[in-house]
Chain A
Amino acid sequence: MSDTVLSVRNISKSFGGIRAVNDVSFEVGKGEVLGLIGPNGSGKSTLFNCVLGQLRPDQGEVHVNGKPVAGMRACDLNRLGVGRTFQQLSVFPEMTVLDNIILAGQEHKGTMWSRLFGSADAGLSGEADRLIEFFRLRHLRQEKAGSLSYGQQKLLDAAMAFMAGPDLVLLDEPAGGVNLTMLGNLKERLQTYNRDHGTTFVVIEHNMEFVMSLCTRVIVLAEGSIIAEGSPEEVRSNQQVIDAYLGG
Protein backbone atom coordinates (compact mmCIF):
# COMPACT_ATOMS: atom_id res chain seq x y z
CA MET A 1 0.00 0.00 0.00
CA SER A 2 1.73 3.15 -1.17
CA ASP A 3 -0.46 5.55 0.82
CA THR A 4 0.34 4.05 4.20
CA VAL A 5 1.14 6.92 6.55
CA LEU A 6 1.99 4.93 9.64
CA SER A 7 3.11 1.35 9.80
CA VAL A 8 3.77 -0.37 13.12
CA ARG A 9 5.38 -3.82 13.05
CA ASN A 10 5.79 -6.24 15.96
CA ILE A 11 6.14 -3.63 18.67
CA SER A 12 6.70 -5.00 22.17
CA LYS A 13 7.47 -3.16 25.37
CA SER A 14 7.87 -4.50 28.90
CA PHE A 15 8.21 -2.70 32.20
CA GLY A 16 9.96 -5.12 34.52
CA GLY A 17 7.65 -8.14 34.55
CA ILE A 18 4.70 -6.36 32.93
CA ARG A 19 4.38 -6.86 29.20
CA ALA A 20 2.58 -3.59 28.46
CA VAL A 21 2.61 -3.99 24.66
CA ASN A 22 2.90 -7.44 23.14
CA ASP A 23 3.81 -7.86 19.48
CA VAL A 24 1.45 -5.26 18.05
CA SER A 25 1.30 -4.57 14.30
CA PHE A 26 -1.03 -2.35 12.31
CA GLU A 27 -1.08 0.14 9.47
CA VAL A 28 -2.83 3.44 9.00
CA GLY A 29 -3.64 4.71 5.53
CA LYS A 30 -3.73 8.33 4.44
CA GLY A 31 -6.84 10.18 5.58
CA GLU A 32 -7.95 7.41 7.90
CA VAL A 33 -9.30 8.05 11.39
CA LEU A 34 -8.25 5.06 13.45
CA GLY A 35 -9.66 4.47 16.93
CA LEU A 36 -7.58 2.68 19.55
CA ILE A 37 -9.64 1.36 22.44
CA GLY A 38 -9.22 -1.07 25.29
CA PRO A 39 -9.47 -1.38 29.07
CA ASN A 40 -7.34 0.71 31.44
CA GLY A 41 -3.79 -0.51 31.44
CA SER A 42 -4.12 -2.38 28.16
CA GLY A 43 -1.06 -0.58 26.76
CA LYS A 44 -2.59 2.09 24.54
CA SER A 45 -0.56 5.01 25.84
CA THR A 46 2.58 2.89 25.98
CA LEU A 47 2.05 1.98 22.33
CA PHE A 48 1.77 5.68 21.46
CA ASN A 49 4.93 6.49 23.33
CA CYS A 50 6.80 3.71 21.55
CA VAL A 51 5.60 4.93 18.17
CA LEU A 52 6.48 8.56 18.94
CA GLY A 53 9.97 8.15 20.30
CA GLN A 54 9.16 8.96 23.93
CA LEU A 55 9.84 5.34 24.85
CA ARG A 56 12.21 2.90 23.18
CA PRO A 57 10.36 -0.31 22.27
CA ASP A 58 12.03 -3.62 23.16
CA GLN A 59 11.46 -4.80 19.62
CA GLY A 60 9.65 -3.86 16.44
CA GLU A 61 9.73 -1.24 13.74
CA VAL A 62 7.83 1.93 13.03
CA HIS A 63 7.64 3.61 9.63
CA VAL A 64 6.17 7.03 8.93
CA ASN A 65 5.49 7.64 5.24
CA GLY A 66 7.78 4.71 4.52
CA LYS A 67 10.66 6.09 6.57
CA PRO A 68 11.98 4.05 9.47
CA VAL A 69 11.70 6.14 12.63
CA ALA A 70 12.84 3.68 15.29
CA GLY A 71 15.02 5.42 17.85
CA MET A 72 14.27 8.81 16.35
CA ARG A 73 13.91 11.69 18.80
CA ALA A 74 10.44 13.09 19.35
CA CYS A 75 11.47 16.50 17.98
CA ASP A 76 12.74 15.02 14.72
CA LEU A 77 9.59 12.95 14.36
CA ASN A 78 7.53 16.09 14.82
CA ARG A 79 9.47 17.76 12.03
CA LEU A 80 8.45 14.87 9.78
CA GLY A 81 4.85 16.02 10.24
CA VAL A 82 3.67 13.99 13.21
CA GLY A 83 1.69 15.78 15.92
CA ARG A 84 0.53 14.34 19.20
CA THR A 85 -1.15 14.98 22.52
CA PHE A 86 -0.46 13.31 25.83
CA GLN A 87 -2.97 11.58 28.07
CA GLN A 88 -2.12 14.00 30.87
CA LEU A 89 -2.85 17.62 30.23
CA SER A 90 0.28 19.04 28.67
CA VAL A 91 0.35 22.77 28.07
CA PHE A 92 2.77 25.54 29.07
CA PRO A 93 0.90 26.92 32.08
CA GLU A 94 2.82 30.17 32.60
CA MET A 95 2.51 31.24 28.98
CA THR A 96 -0.50 32.81 27.33
CA VAL A 97 -2.78 30.78 25.10
CA LEU A 98 -1.38 32.66 22.11
CA ASP A 99 2.22 31.89 23.10
CA ASN A 100 1.36 28.23 23.61
CA ILE A 101 0.01 28.07 20.08
CA ILE A 102 2.89 30.00 18.52
CA LEU A 103 5.42 27.83 20.35
CA ALA A 104 3.70 24.80 18.87
CA GLY A 105 4.43 26.05 15.35
CA GLN A 106 7.62 28.08 15.49
CA GLU A 107 10.08 25.22 14.97
CA HIS A 108 8.50 24.65 11.57
CA LYS A 109 8.98 28.23 10.48
CA GLY A 110 12.26 29.62 9.16
CA THR A 111 15.70 28.69 10.44
CA MET A 112 17.36 28.82 13.82
CA TRP A 113 18.82 32.20 12.88
CA SER A 114 15.65 33.71 11.49
CA ARG A 115 13.99 32.75 14.76
CA LEU A 116 16.68 34.63 16.66
CA PHE A 117 16.77 37.80 14.58
CA GLY A 118 13.30 37.80 13.01
CA SER A 119 9.99 38.92 14.44
CA ALA A 120 8.94 37.95 17.95
CA ASP A 121 5.97 35.90 16.78
CA ALA A 122 7.98 34.11 14.06
CA GLY A 123 5.36 35.44 11.64
CA LEU A 124 2.77 33.10 13.11
CA SER A 125 0.32 35.48 14.81
CA GLY A 126 -2.20 35.32 12.01
CA GLU A 127 -2.12 31.57 11.72
CA ALA A 128 -2.24 31.20 15.51
CA ASP A 129 -5.28 33.45 15.70
CA ARG A 130 -7.08 31.41 13.07
CA LEU A 131 -6.42 28.25 15.05
CA ILE A 132 -7.51 29.90 18.30
CA GLU A 133 -10.69 30.99 16.57
CA PHE A 134 -11.18 27.51 15.14
CA PHE A 135 -11.01 25.95 18.62
CA ARG A 136 -13.21 28.74 20.03
CA LEU A 137 -10.62 30.03 22.48
CA ARG A 138 -10.62 33.60 21.18
CA HIS A 139 -11.74 35.22 24.47
CA LEU A 140 -8.87 33.50 26.30
CA ARG A 141 -6.15 34.49 23.84
CA GLN A 142 -4.07 36.54 26.29
CA GLU A 143 -4.79 34.48 29.41
CA LYS A 144 -2.21 32.23 31.00
CA ALA A 145 -2.85 28.67 29.88
CA GLY A 146 -2.60 27.50 33.47
CA SER A 147 -5.58 29.62 34.48
CA LEU A 148 -7.97 27.95 32.03
CA SER A 149 -10.45 25.28 33.10
CA TYR A 150 -9.56 21.65 32.52
CA GLY A 151 -11.74 21.34 29.43
CA GLN A 152 -10.39 24.57 27.96
CA GLN A 153 -6.82 23.39 28.55
CA LYS A 154 -7.71 20.10 26.90
CA LEU A 155 -8.89 21.99 23.80
CA LEU A 156 -5.75 24.13 23.81
CA ASP A 157 -3.70 20.96 24.19
CA ALA A 158 -5.39 19.49 21.12
CA ALA A 159 -5.11 22.76 19.18
CA MET A 160 -1.33 22.80 19.72
CA ALA A 161 -1.00 19.46 17.95
CA PHE A 162 -2.40 21.09 14.79
CA MET A 163 -0.32 24.24 14.67
CA ALA A 164 2.47 22.78 12.56
CA GLY A 165 0.04 21.47 9.94
CA PRO A 166 0.83 17.78 10.57
CA ASP A 167 -0.01 14.91 8.23
CA LEU A 168 -0.53 12.51 11.10
CA VAL A 169 -1.92 13.29 14.55
CA LEU A 170 -2.03 10.90 17.49
CA LEU A 171 -4.46 11.94 20.21
CA ASP A 172 -4.46 10.28 23.63
CA GLU A 173 -7.93 10.69 25.17
CA PRO A 174 -8.77 14.12 23.74
CA ALA A 175 -12.34 13.95 25.05
CA GLY A 176 -11.55 13.33 28.73
CA GLY A 177 -13.17 16.07 30.83
CA VAL A 178 -14.57 17.95 27.85
CA ASN A 179 -18.30 18.73 28.07
CA LEU A 180 -20.81 17.40 25.56
CA THR A 181 -21.14 20.57 23.49
CA MET A 182 -17.38 20.99 23.37
CA LEU A 183 -17.06 17.31 22.54
CA GLY A 184 -19.31 17.70 19.52
CA ASN A 185 -17.28 20.74 18.67
CA LEU A 186 -14.00 18.84 18.98
CA LYS A 187 -15.30 16.01 16.79
CA GLU A 188 -16.37 18.54 14.19
CA ARG A 189 -12.89 20.13 14.28
CA LEU A 190 -11.19 16.78 13.75
CA GLN A 191 -13.52 15.92 10.90
CA THR A 192 -12.93 19.29 9.27
CA TYR A 193 -9.17 18.77 9.42
CA ASN A 194 -9.56 15.28 8.11
CA ARG A 195 -11.71 16.43 5.18
CA ASP A 196 -9.98 19.69 4.26
CA HIS A 197 -6.34 18.81 4.89
CA GLY A 198 -6.44 15.03 4.55
CA THR A 199 -4.98 14.78 8.06
CA THR A 200 -4.67 11.21 9.32
CA PHE A 201 -5.68 10.50 12.92
CA VAL A 202 -5.09 7.83 15.50
CA VAL A 203 -7.30 8.43 18.53
CA ILE A 204 -7.27 6.72 21.91
CA GLU A 205 -10.59 7.28 23.65
CA HIS A 206 -12.85 5.68 26.24
CA ASN A 207 -15.93 7.62 25.13
CA MET A 208 -17.52 5.01 22.86
CA GLU A 209 -19.97 7.36 21.22
CA PHE A 210 -17.12 9.67 20.27
CA VAL A 211 -15.04 6.81 18.87
CA MET A 212 -17.87 5.08 17.06
CA SER A 213 -19.10 8.24 15.34
CA LEU A 214 -15.66 9.59 14.47
CA CYS A 215 -13.51 6.64 13.49
CA THR A 216 -13.45 4.80 10.20
CA ARG A 217 -11.69 1.82 11.76
CA VAL A 218 -11.14 0.63 15.32
CA ILE A 219 -8.43 -1.49 16.92
CA VAL A 220 -9.08 -3.08 20.31
CA LEU A 221 -6.18 -3.71 22.65
CA ALA A 222 -6.36 -5.96 25.72
CA GLU A 223 -3.40 -6.84 27.91
CA GLY A 224 -1.00 -5.50 25.34
CA SER A 225 -2.31 -7.43 22.33
CA ILE A 226 -4.76 -6.64 19.55
CA ILE A 227 -7.90 -8.70 20.10
CA ALA A 228 -10.07 -7.20 17.39
CA GLU A 229 -9.90 -4.87 14.44
CA GLY A 230 -12.55 -3.60 12.04
CA SER A 231 -15.27 -1.07 11.40
CA PRO A 232 -16.99 0.43 14.47
CA GLU A 233 -20.00 -1.86 13.92
CA GLU A 234 -17.91 -5.02 13.62
CA VAL A 235 -15.98 -4.21 16.76
CA ARG A 236 -19.09 -3.33 18.70
CA SER A 237 -20.65 -6.71 17.98
CA ASN A 238 -17.46 -8.75 18.53
CA GLN A 239 -18.06 -11.09 21.49
CA GLN A 240 -14.44 -11.00 22.64
CA VAL A 241 -14.51 -7.21 22.76
CA ILE A 242 -17.77 -7.17 24.65
CA ASP A 243 -16.30 -9.56 27.23
CA ALA A 244 -13.00 -7.76 27.62
CA TYR A 245 -14.03 -4.16 27.39
CA LEU A 246 -17.50 -3.02 26.41
CA GLY A 247 -19.39 -5.30 28.76
CA GLY A 248 -22.77 -6.76 28.09
Chain B
Amino acid sequence: MAIIPKWAFILVGIVLLVLAPIGQGNYVALILCSWLMYTIAAMGLNLTLGYAGQISLAQGSFMAIGAYITALLTLSGVHWLVAMPLAVLGCFIVGLLVGFPALRVKGHFLAFVTLAFNTLVVLVLRNEDWLTGGSYGKSNMPRPDFWLFNTGTKSTFLSIPLSSNQKMYYLCLAVFIVFALLMYGLIRSPWGRAFKGLRENPIRAESLGLDTRRLTLLAFAIGSAAGGLAGALVSPVVQYIEPNSFALQHSLRILLMVVVGGSGFFFGPMLGAAVVILLPEFLRFTEGYYLIIYSGLVIVLMVYSPSGLMGVGSRIVAAVRPKRVARTDMKEGAQL
Protein backbone atom coordinates (compact mmCIF):
# COMPACT_ATOMS: atom_id res chain seq x y z
CA MET B 1 0.00 0.00 0.00
CA ALA B 2 2.81 2.32 0.85
CA ILE B 3 4.17 2.00 -2.69
CA ILE B 4 1.12 3.76 -4.10
CA PRO B 5 0.63 7.03 -2.23
CA LYS B 6 -2.75 7.84 -0.76
CA TRP B 7 -3.26 10.91 -2.94
CA ALA B 8 -2.99 8.71 -6.07
CA PHE B 9 -5.99 6.70 -4.87
CA ILE B 10 -7.90 9.89 -4.22
CA LEU B 11 -6.99 11.29 -7.65
CA VAL B 12 -8.20 8.14 -9.39
CA GLY B 13 -11.35 8.28 -7.28
CA ILE B 14 -12.06 11.85 -8.34
CA VAL B 15 -11.51 11.01 -12.03
CA LEU B 16 -13.96 8.10 -11.71
CA LEU B 17 -16.48 10.36 -10.00
CA VAL B 18 -16.17 12.90 -12.82
CA LEU B 19 -16.67 10.23 -15.50
CA ALA B 20 -19.48 8.40 -13.69
CA PRO B 21 -22.57 10.07 -15.19
CA ILE B 22 -21.25 10.53 -18.74
CA GLY B 23 -23.29 8.64 -21.29
CA GLN B 24 -25.81 7.68 -18.59
CA GLY B 25 -29.42 8.73 -18.43
CA ASN B 26 -31.21 11.14 -16.12
CA TYR B 27 -32.09 8.49 -13.61
CA VAL B 28 -28.47 7.46 -13.03
CA ALA B 29 -27.47 11.11 -12.62
CA LEU B 30 -30.16 11.57 -9.98
CA ILE B 31 -29.15 8.41 -8.10
CA LEU B 32 -25.53 9.61 -8.10
CA CYS B 33 -26.64 13.04 -6.81
CA SER B 34 -28.58 11.35 -4.07
CA TRP B 35 -25.52 9.27 -3.16
CA LEU B 36 -23.33 12.39 -2.84
CA MET B 37 -25.94 14.31 -0.83
CA TYR B 38 -26.44 11.46 1.60
CA THR B 39 -22.68 11.02 1.84
CA ILE B 40 -22.36 14.63 2.98
CA ALA B 41 -25.09 14.17 5.58
CA ALA B 42 -23.57 10.87 6.72
CA MET B 43 -20.09 12.42 6.99
CA GLY B 44 -21.61 15.03 9.29
CA LEU B 45 -23.20 12.34 11.43
CA ASN B 46 -19.90 10.47 11.35
CA LEU B 47 -18.29 13.46 13.03
CA THR B 48 -20.97 13.62 15.73
CA LEU B 49 -21.25 9.87 16.25
CA GLY B 50 -18.15 8.23 14.82
CA TYR B 51 -15.52 10.68 16.02
CA ALA B 52 -17.12 12.47 18.96
CA GLY B 53 -19.22 9.52 20.15
CA GLN B 54 -22.54 11.38 20.48
CA ILE B 55 -25.48 9.42 19.11
CA SER B 56 -27.99 11.34 17.02
CA LEU B 57 -31.13 10.09 15.30
CA ALA B 58 -31.96 13.52 13.96
CA GLN B 59 -29.68 13.96 10.96
CA GLY B 60 -32.67 13.70 8.58
CA SER B 61 -34.30 16.66 10.30
CA PHE B 62 -31.23 18.80 9.65
CA MET B 63 -31.43 17.87 5.99
CA ALA B 64 -35.05 19.02 6.22
CA ILE B 65 -34.15 22.34 7.82
CA GLY B 66 -31.43 22.93 5.23
CA ALA B 67 -33.70 21.96 2.36
CA TYR B 68 -36.61 24.14 3.53
CA ILE B 69 -34.43 27.17 4.20
CA THR B 70 -32.93 26.81 0.72
CA ALA B 71 -36.31 26.21 -0.90
CA LEU B 72 -37.98 29.19 0.75
CA LEU B 73 -35.09 31.51 -0.05
CA THR B 74 -34.51 30.43 -3.65
CA LEU B 75 -38.25 30.45 -4.39
CA SER B 76 -38.37 34.05 -3.22
CA GLY B 77 -35.56 34.94 -5.58
CA VAL B 78 -32.46 34.67 -3.41
CA HIS B 79 -29.48 33.15 -5.22
CA TRP B 80 -28.58 29.58 -4.23
CA LEU B 81 -25.04 30.72 -3.42
CA VAL B 82 -26.52 32.93 -0.70
CA ALA B 83 -29.23 30.50 0.41
CA MET B 84 -26.82 27.58 0.84
CA PRO B 85 -24.56 29.17 3.47
CA LEU B 86 -27.64 30.44 5.31
CA ALA B 87 -29.02 26.90 5.40
CA VAL B 88 -25.70 25.65 6.77
CA LEU B 89 -25.59 28.40 9.37
CA GLY B 90 -29.21 27.79 10.40
CA CYS B 91 -28.49 24.11 10.96
CA PHE B 92 -25.30 24.93 12.86
CA ILE B 93 -27.30 27.03 15.31
CA VAL B 94 -30.16 24.54 15.69
CA GLY B 95 -27.60 21.71 16.04
CA LEU B 96 -25.91 23.64 18.82
CA LEU B 97 -29.23 23.83 20.66
CA VAL B 98 -29.94 20.14 20.10
CA GLY B 99 -26.52 19.45 21.62
CA PHE B 100 -27.55 20.78 25.03
CA PRO B 101 -29.48 17.66 26.08
CA ALA B 102 -26.30 15.70 25.27
CA LEU B 103 -24.60 17.49 28.16
CA ARG B 104 -27.04 15.77 30.52
CA VAL B 105 -27.98 12.47 28.89
CA LYS B 106 -25.88 9.89 27.09
CA GLY B 107 -26.35 6.76 25.03
CA HIS B 108 -29.87 5.41 24.59
CA PHE B 109 -31.44 8.38 26.31
CA LEU B 110 -29.71 10.80 23.99
CA ALA B 111 -30.91 8.69 21.05
CA PHE B 112 -34.47 9.17 22.26
CA VAL B 113 -34.08 12.90 22.73
CA THR B 114 -32.78 13.35 19.18
CA LEU B 115 -35.47 11.02 17.86
CA ALA B 116 -38.10 13.22 19.49
CA PHE B 117 -36.50 16.27 17.89
CA ASN B 118 -36.70 14.68 14.46
CA THR B 119 -40.41 14.00 14.96
CA LEU B 120 -40.93 17.54 16.19
CA VAL B 121 -39.34 19.00 13.06
CA VAL B 122 -41.52 16.88 10.78
CA LEU B 123 -44.64 17.93 12.72
CA VAL B 124 -43.74 21.60 12.49
CA LEU B 125 -43.12 21.27 8.75
CA ARG B 126 -46.49 19.60 8.32
CA ASN B 127 -48.51 21.96 10.50
CA GLU B 128 -47.10 25.37 9.66
CA ASP B 129 -48.70 25.53 6.19
CA TRP B 130 -48.29 29.27 5.83
CA LEU B 131 -44.53 28.84 5.73
CA THR B 132 -43.79 25.29 4.68
CA GLY B 133 -46.71 24.43 2.45
CA GLY B 134 -47.85 21.74 4.92
CA SER B 135 -48.15 18.20 3.60
CA TYR B 136 -47.89 19.46 0.03
CA GLY B 137 -44.43 20.80 0.70
CA LYS B 138 -42.56 23.02 -1.71
CA SER B 139 -41.88 22.44 -5.37
CA ASN B 140 -40.23 23.92 -8.46
CA MET B 141 -37.20 25.28 -6.68
CA PRO B 142 -34.91 26.87 -9.29
CA ARG B 143 -31.62 25.18 -10.02
CA PRO B 144 -28.45 27.21 -9.42
CA ASP B 145 -26.93 29.08 -12.32
CA PHE B 146 -23.44 30.47 -11.87
CA TRP B 147 -20.01 30.20 -13.44
CA LEU B 148 -19.61 26.69 -14.90
CA PHE B 149 -22.68 25.46 -13.13
CA ASN B 150 -25.61 26.60 -15.29
CA THR B 151 -27.49 23.60 -14.00
CA GLY B 152 -30.96 24.70 -15.09
CA THR B 153 -30.56 23.95 -18.78
CA LYS B 154 -28.80 21.42 -20.94
CA SER B 155 -25.68 22.29 -22.88
CA THR B 156 -22.47 20.80 -24.17
CA PHE B 157 -19.08 20.89 -22.49
CA LEU B 158 -16.02 19.98 -24.64
CA SER B 159 -18.58 18.65 -27.14
CA ILE B 160 -20.05 16.30 -24.50
CA PRO B 161 -23.80 16.87 -24.20
CA LEU B 162 -24.81 17.37 -20.58
CA SER B 163 -28.35 17.27 -19.26
CA SER B 164 -29.58 19.47 -16.44
CA ASN B 165 -29.44 16.52 -14.04
CA GLN B 166 -25.89 15.70 -15.04
CA LYS B 167 -24.84 19.26 -14.40
CA MET B 168 -26.59 19.14 -11.03
CA TYR B 169 -24.44 16.10 -10.31
CA TYR B 170 -21.28 18.07 -11.05
CA LEU B 171 -22.43 20.78 -8.68
CA CYS B 172 -23.01 18.14 -6.00
CA LEU B 173 -19.59 16.69 -6.75
CA ALA B 174 -17.88 20.07 -6.46
CA VAL B 175 -19.65 20.79 -3.18
CA PHE B 176 -18.79 17.32 -1.95
CA ILE B 177 -15.08 17.65 -2.75
CA VAL B 178 -14.78 21.03 -1.04
CA PHE B 179 -16.74 19.72 1.94
CA ALA B 180 -14.63 16.54 2.18
CA LEU B 181 -11.42 18.59 2.14
CA LEU B 182 -12.70 20.82 4.95
CA MET B 183 -13.82 17.80 6.92
CA TYR B 184 -10.48 16.12 6.42
CA GLY B 185 -8.69 19.22 7.68
CA LEU B 186 -10.95 19.27 10.74
CA ILE B 187 -10.43 15.59 11.57
CA ARG B 188 -6.65 15.91 11.22
CA SER B 189 -6.46 19.08 13.30
CA PRO B 190 -6.19 19.14 17.09
CA TRP B 191 -9.97 19.56 17.09
CA GLY B 192 -10.33 16.12 15.52
CA ARG B 193 -8.06 14.68 18.18
CA ALA B 194 -10.13 16.39 20.86
CA PHE B 195 -13.37 14.94 19.43
CA LYS B 196 -11.84 11.46 19.57
CA GLY B 197 -10.74 12.14 23.12
CA LEU B 198 -14.32 13.06 23.99
CA ARG B 199 -15.49 9.76 22.52
CA GLU B 200 -12.89 7.56 24.16
CA ASN B 201 -12.58 8.95 27.65
CA PRO B 202 -14.50 12.15 28.42
CA ILE B 203 -13.49 12.25 32.09
CA ARG B 204 -9.78 12.04 31.33
CA ALA B 205 -10.23 14.51 28.47
CA GLU B 206 -11.78 17.01 30.86
CA SER B 207 -8.96 16.54 33.36
CA LEU B 208 -6.48 17.32 30.56
CA GLY B 209 -8.04 20.72 30.04
CA LEU B 210 -10.43 19.86 27.20
CA ASP B 211 -13.72 21.66 27.57
CA THR B 212 -15.93 18.63 26.96
CA ARG B 213 -19.14 20.66 27.08
CA ARG B 214 -18.01 22.92 24.29
CA LEU B 215 -16.74 19.92 22.32
CA THR B 216 -20.06 18.12 22.65
CA LEU B 217 -21.99 21.15 21.45
CA LEU B 218 -19.58 21.71 18.56
CA ALA B 219 -19.78 18.06 17.54
CA PHE B 220 -23.54 18.42 17.22
CA ALA B 221 -23.40 21.82 15.56
CA ILE B 222 -20.82 20.88 12.91
CA GLY B 223 -22.44 17.52 12.18
CA SER B 224 -25.83 19.23 11.83
CA ALA B 225 -24.39 21.93 9.59
CA ALA B 226 -23.27 19.16 7.22
CA GLY B 227 -26.86 17.88 7.27
CA GLY B 228 -27.94 21.40 6.32
CA LEU B 229 -25.47 21.46 3.43
CA ALA B 230 -26.90 18.19 2.14
CA GLY B 231 -30.37 19.71 2.45
CA ALA B 232 -29.27 22.77 0.47
CA LEU B 233 -28.49 20.36 -2.39
CA VAL B 234 -31.64 18.28 -2.01
CA SER B 235 -33.78 21.30 -2.69
CA PRO B 236 -32.52 22.07 -6.25
CA VAL B 237 -31.79 18.45 -7.15
CA VAL B 238 -35.19 16.98 -6.29
CA GLN B 239 -37.13 20.22 -6.82
CA TYR B 240 -39.91 18.88 -4.65
CA ILE B 241 -39.75 18.47 -0.87
CA GLU B 242 -42.40 17.51 1.65
CA PRO B 243 -42.19 16.66 5.37
CA ASN B 244 -42.26 12.90 4.93
CA SER B 245 -39.07 12.90 2.87
CA PHE B 246 -37.29 13.73 6.13
CA ALA B 247 -39.15 11.51 8.58
CA LEU B 248 -37.41 9.36 11.14
CA GLN B 249 -36.77 6.53 8.70
CA HIS B 250 -34.41 8.80 6.78
CA SER B 251 -32.45 9.62 9.89
CA LEU B 252 -32.19 5.89 10.51
CA ARG B 253 -30.96 5.41 6.94
CA ILE B 254 -28.22 7.96 7.47
CA LEU B 255 -27.28 6.21 10.71
CA LEU B 256 -27.20 2.93 8.78
CA MET B 257 -24.83 4.49 6.23
CA VAL B 258 -22.43 5.56 8.98
CA VAL B 259 -22.53 2.19 10.72
CA VAL B 260 -22.36 0.04 7.59
CA GLY B 261 -19.53 2.10 6.14
CA GLY B 262 -17.57 2.13 9.35
CA SER B 263 -18.21 4.71 12.01
CA GLY B 264 -15.13 6.76 12.83
CA PHE B 265 -13.48 6.06 9.45
CA PHE B 266 -13.15 9.05 7.16
CA PHE B 267 -14.28 7.29 3.96
CA GLY B 268 -16.79 5.10 5.79
CA PRO B 269 -19.87 7.23 5.02
CA MET B 270 -19.06 7.30 1.28
CA LEU B 271 -19.03 3.55 1.25
CA GLY B 272 -22.03 3.26 3.54
CA ALA B 273 -24.12 5.66 1.44
CA ALA B 274 -23.13 3.72 -1.67
CA VAL B 275 -24.37 0.49 -0.10
CA VAL B 276 -27.59 1.98 1.24
CA ILE B 277 -28.46 3.91 -1.93
CA LEU B 278 -26.81 2.07 -4.81
CA LEU B 279 -27.12 -1.54 -3.66
CA PRO B 280 -30.93 -1.56 -3.79
CA GLU B 281 -30.61 -0.35 -7.41
CA PHE B 282 -28.30 -3.23 -8.26
CA LEU B 283 -30.55 -5.70 -6.45
CA ARG B 284 -33.59 -4.48 -8.38
CA PHE B 285 -33.50 -7.54 -10.64
CA THR B 286 -34.38 -9.75 -7.64
CA GLU B 287 -37.66 -7.86 -7.50
CA GLY B 288 -39.56 -8.51 -4.27
CA TYR B 289 -36.61 -10.15 -2.59
CA TYR B 290 -34.29 -7.23 -2.61
CA LEU B 291 -35.20 -5.96 0.84
CA ILE B 292 -34.73 -9.40 2.34
CA ILE B 293 -31.33 -9.88 0.70
CA TYR B 294 -30.32 -6.37 1.63
CA SER B 295 -31.29 -6.70 5.29
CA GLY B 296 -29.62 -10.10 5.44
CA LEU B 297 -26.36 -8.64 4.14
CA VAL B 298 -26.47 -5.83 6.68
CA ILE B 299 -27.06 -8.27 9.56
CA VAL B 300 -24.19 -10.51 8.45
CA LEU B 301 -21.89 -7.52 8.11
CA MET B 302 -22.75 -6.18 11.55
CA VAL B 303 -22.22 -9.58 13.20
CA TYR B 304 -18.84 -10.19 11.59
CA SER B 305 -17.55 -6.64 11.46
CA PRO B 306 -19.14 -4.20 13.90
CA SER B 307 -16.78 -1.57 12.53
CA GLY B 308 -18.47 -1.81 9.12
CA LEU B 309 -17.00 -2.22 5.66
CA MET B 310 -13.95 -0.10 6.51
CA GLY B 311 -13.42 -2.48 9.41
CA VAL B 312 -13.40 -5.42 6.97
CA GLY B 313 -10.89 -3.53 4.86
CA SER B 314 -8.55 -2.77 7.73
CA ARG B 315 -8.75 -6.41 8.85
CA ILE B 316 -7.58 -7.51 5.42
CA VAL B 317 -4.75 -4.99 5.58
CA ALA B 318 -3.89 -6.21 9.09
CA ALA B 319 -3.72 -9.80 7.82
CA VAL B 320 -1.14 -8.73 5.28
CA ARG B 321 0.67 -6.26 7.49
CA PRO B 322 0.25 -7.31 11.13
CA LYS B 323 -0.67 -4.42 13.36
CA ARG B 324 -1.41 -4.23 17.02
CA VAL B 325 -5.05 -3.93 17.96
CA ALA B 326 -6.57 -2.68 21.18
CA ARG B 327 -6.71 -5.47 23.71
CA THR B 328 -9.93 -6.59 25.31
CA ASP B 329 -8.57 -7.87 28.60
CA MET B 330 -8.39 -4.41 30.12
CA LYS B 331 -11.47 -2.41 30.66
CA GLU B 332 -10.59 1.17 29.95
CA GLY B 333 -12.03 4.40 31.19
CA ALA B 334 -11.87 6.42 34.33
CA GLN B 335 -14.28 5.29 36.96
CA LEU B 336 -14.14 7.56 39.92
Q: What is the bound-complex CA distance between A73 and B207, given in angstroms? A: 9
Q: Please count how many residues in chain B sit with their CB below 8 Å of the partner chain's CB atoms.
A: 31
Q: Which of B301-336 contact A (CB under 8 A)?
A: 324-327, 330, 332-336
B204 touches A75 (CB 8 A): no
Of B165-173, B182-190, B285-293, the stretch lying at the interface with chain A is B182-190
Q: Which residues of B contact A163 (CB under 8 A)?
A: 208
B207 touches A75 (CB 8 A): yes
Q: Which residues of B contact A91 (CB under 8 A)?
A: 201, 204, 332
- B113 at interface, CB cutoff 8 A: no
Q: What is the bound-complex CA distance between A121 and B332, given in angstroms? A: 25
B325 touches A75 (CB 8 A): no
B326 touches A93 (CB 8 A): yes
Q: Which residues of A contact B203 (CB under 8 A)?
A: 54, 74, 86, 90
Q: Report the contact-size class of chain A (Cβ under 8 Å from the partner).
A: 35 or more
B190 touches A106 (CB 8 A): yes
Q: What is the bound-complex CA distance between A195 and B45, given in angstroms? A: 48
Q: What is the bound-complex CA distance between A193 and B324, given in angstroms? A: 32
With A92-B201, A94-B200 known as contacts, the answer to whether A79 contacts B209 (CB < 8 A) is: yes
- B128 at interface, CB cutoff 8 A: no
Q: What is the bound-complex CA distance between A198 and B190, given in angstroms? A: 29
A93 touches B200 (CB 8 A): yes
With A93-B200, A116-B186 known as contacts, the answer to whether A160 contacts B191 (CB < 8 A) is: no
B197 touches A92 (CB 8 A): yes
Distance (whole angstroms) from the CB of A186 to the closest CB of chain B: 19
Q: What is the bound-complex CA distance between A157 and B334, given in angstroms? A: 11
Q: Which of A128-144 contact B (CB under 8 A)?
A: 143-144
B207 touches A103 (CB 8 A): no
Chain A interfacial positions (CB closer than 8 Å to B): 45, 49, 52, 54-55, 73-75, 78-79, 84, 86, 88-95, 99, 102-104, 106-108, 115-118, 120-122, 143-147, 150, 153, 160, 163-164
The 5 A-B pairs at the shortest CB distance, nearest first, are namely A146-B326, A107-B209, A147-B324, A78-B209, A90-B334
